[in-house]
């Protein structure tokens, strides 16, 4: 079931952005600070504790599903940058909703 972007409550949109990607409107599809934080946490806890995925990266993962590996995470980063170059932030959010 598809819904139109104007049918989404602005409060719901704010809540999703706050929970999933606070800096959505301020990064180019990837959040380098979150990536460094996740790498540091994952390295020192010897397991995957944080993925640092932005909403754009999550859309890329949905469009091009792959096994969850560090190599595929790099592909996801590249795809997120491509999506950001081709689509506006609002167009990317439309894929989420």
Give the pLDDT band (50/70/90) at residue 97: low
Residue 96 has pLDDT above 70, yes or no: no
Q: Where is average pLDDT lowest: 6-20, 22-36, 79-93?
A: 6-20
32-48 b/e with 16+ CB inside 10 Å = b? eebbeebeeebeeeeee
> Mean pLDDT in the chain?
85
How many residues in the chain?
Answer: 97
The mean pLDDT value for 22-49 works out to 84
Q: Decide if domain 9-96 falls under CATH 1.10.3810.10.
A: yes
Residue 96 near residue 59 (C-beta atoms within 8 A): yes
pLDDT at 30: 93
Identify the residue whose tokens are 């995470």. 73
Q: What are the start-end ranges of the H helices in the chain?
A: 10-20, 32-45, 55-63, 70-86, 89-96
Tell me 54's DSSP state: -
Does the global pTM surpass 0.85? no
Domain boundaries, the chain: 9-96
């Amino acid at each position: 079931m598809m819904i139109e972007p104007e049918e989404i409550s602005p409060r719901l949109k704010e809540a999703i952005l706050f929970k999933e990607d606070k800096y959505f409107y301020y990064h180019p599809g990837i959040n380098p600070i979150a990536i460094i934080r996740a790498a540091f946490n994952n390295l020192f806890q010897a397991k995957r504790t944080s993925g640092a995925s932005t909403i754009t990266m999550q859309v890329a993962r949905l469009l091009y599903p792959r096994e969850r590996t560090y190599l595929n995470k790099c592909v996801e980063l590249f795809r997120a940058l491509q999506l950001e170059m081709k689509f506006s932030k609002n167009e990317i959010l439309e894929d989420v909703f």
